[in-house]
Amino acid sequence: MKWFFKSFINGVLTIVPIALDAYVVYKMFLLFDGLSGNILKPYLDENYIPGIGLFATIILLTILGWLSTKFLTGTIVWIVDILLQKSL
C-alpha cells in the first residue's frame, strides 16, 4: 500500500506541472490570437494571416526563455562564484 501511495504522489507531481504549462501556453495563445486578430485584422483586411497569435506566443516564450537563461542563471552563477571566493 505504501508503494502505491508513493507512486501515485510521484505521478501527480509529474503530471501537474506539465498540465499547468500546457494550460498557460494555451491561454497565452488565445490571448495573443485574440489581440492580434482585433488589432491587425482591420488594417490588413485581405492580407491577414490566421494563427499569428501562435507565432506571437512562440516568440514571447522564446524571449522569456532567453532572458531567464541569460539573466537569472547568470546572476545565480555570479552569486555562487562570489560566495565560493569568499569562503576560500
Domains of the chain, residue spans:
2-87
pLDDT value, residue 19: 94
pTM for the model stands at 0.62
* DSSP secondary structure string for all residues of 20-47: HHHHHHHHHHHHHHHHHHHHHHHHHGGG
Q: Who's near 56: CB < 8 A, 6+ residues apart?
A: 32, 33, 36
pLDDT in tens, 53-63: 788 888 988 99
pLDDT in tens, 29-51: 888 888 877 777 777 777 777 77
